[in-house]
Amino acid sequence: MPTLKPTILNELFAVAARTLKNSYSPYSKFKVGAAVLTGSGKIYGGTNIENASFGLTNCAERTALFSAIAAGEREFKALAIVFSQKGLGDLSTPCGACRQVMAEFCPPAMPIYTADVSSGKPERIVQKKLKDYYPYPFSPEALQKNPRRTK
């Protein structure tokens, strides 16, 4: 997959930063925003939504993807994730649950952009492909190859 045009990448980061402001993170205090670019050209945003039972928390990446899927989208071109991590070292990355959901719906070469927005604009931008974060996913194809699967 080619690198995104700067105007599209800027819009992805803008949507992710807007949704970060809606984060419901009273426990971790760690706000995250995400935006996914679909094959139709639409951008869907998402933020992290925590829950007192912790296990029911939903990450920004999954919220963005699930919003797009609920709207009928099935083709994904890029994902942007923003954090406010001033002075906290390396940028965070998608968690394992998010990587697994991405492996279900996104191509392995899909670019994922992360950035620190603590200054009000995207900085320390990192671009990697989904397959860089998750080189050996459990995929729908794995279920088709299972010789024990009954019909």
Which of 55, 53, 61 is CA-nearest to residue 23?
61
Instruction: List phi, psi (to 5°) of 128.
Output: -140, 165
CA 48 – CA 42 distance, rounded (Å):
20
CA 79 – CA 112 distance, rounded (Å):
5
Active-site position among 11, 61, 73, 141? 61
Residue that has been written with the tokens 């010789």 in this structure? 147
Catalytic site includes residue 11: no
Task: Return the C-alpha torsion angle 41, 48, 128, 87, nearest 10.
Answer: 130
User: Both tokens of residue 147?
Assistant: 């010789």
Query: Among all residues, which ones are annotated catalytic?
Result: 61
